[in-house]
Structure 1
């Protein structure tokens, strides 16, 4: 009996009380989101945690990097991309649940300069000479081969006839927030970022806006991954709620869906 009692105590220490569930309910969700979402989504996640008790662990990076991480097995419940191409990529790899996919947000791209720059009020249109405007300085944006903001920027500059001359002056960053930081620090004379990014960085100013018809529509799709936890559906509903809409619009995003509640 004493030997059995000792075994029982050891079993309890190692594996927990026999009266407890084998696994405690996991009250966290992991969200992989485009870097430009950080400030707004942090506020949304705090509101969701306060309402439900579910903690959101958010990982922010370029949509391209996040899609590749999910493909390689990174544990994510939700993917928010800054363009439809990288969501399409994840769908093609069978990494997202297509039935949950929604085009949630819209955005715009702008030209920024350090807050103390002499550059101001730039008219962006056909014939716009970005290379001349930058002078000897660098122009920062996301990597035009992969990062959504960079791809939007290149498309716009090609449409306006400004890409070829300006290309040698570009400093390609790993994400839109990295590009934003280069400009804020004065390491780049100009930058192309989302208007929502420029709003949250006091070290920069918007000096011009790109015409909406100069680039593909900027759309942020959201979807659950194929490995998402059951509670993910409730979070996706919250992202479409009036409460989330208020937060997102405060940060300058355009809400593309009708609020769920």
Structure 2
């Protein structure tokens, strides 16, 4: 019997016996398994059930945690408007509770939901709140996450100087913490910021560092993203053969992973190939 099957049996037994606490905990555990597997609709169903059960027995912090997890699932499913509603409900649960780490997690996910809606000013506002909480409770990893999200939301809002500032501070902190997964993302952000500023050679250097970090971590998706971004920088430098080669390598990875990036990369390849044909 798999761990998931065991948990679902426990959930069924708890529901039959009317044990709301055990039912809530089992539903939460099932949701986490589905979330780890990126099966967001199923995960959302179990987190919603757990939140309802925790509400019935007056466990507000646990209810807030489940609503926060539900918000994550909805953001990942591109249901940002609904995510905002669930995350707002999570905040209400914590109105009279002292749980800064969970409150910060909710704020961070609100920021991600607003980013999904392309409301980058509100996104930055929530990520700033996370940053302030991280400083108050001296949580360096939380601070790092907030800096990365602040850099990204400012980049999307075309505020390149603030974005670069947040990204460079994040880079120093990630190196201090030895956070290799964060380094992949930060180098990628710095590369995109440099591209927007017209410094394509520096962008290439940052994307190469992102690629190196991704290879060290065995993160294929991030390798593909770094290669695609290198290709775009080479395209900007009118190095079309190099751009085509790099974008083809990225596409091979996205096909292998069955990634949503395939569609965009295919269009990029068509555009680059057209430019190569004109040049030849």
> TM-score, normalization: structure 1?
0.26
Q: Name the structure where strand makes up a greater proportion of residues.
A: 1
Larger radius of gyration: 1
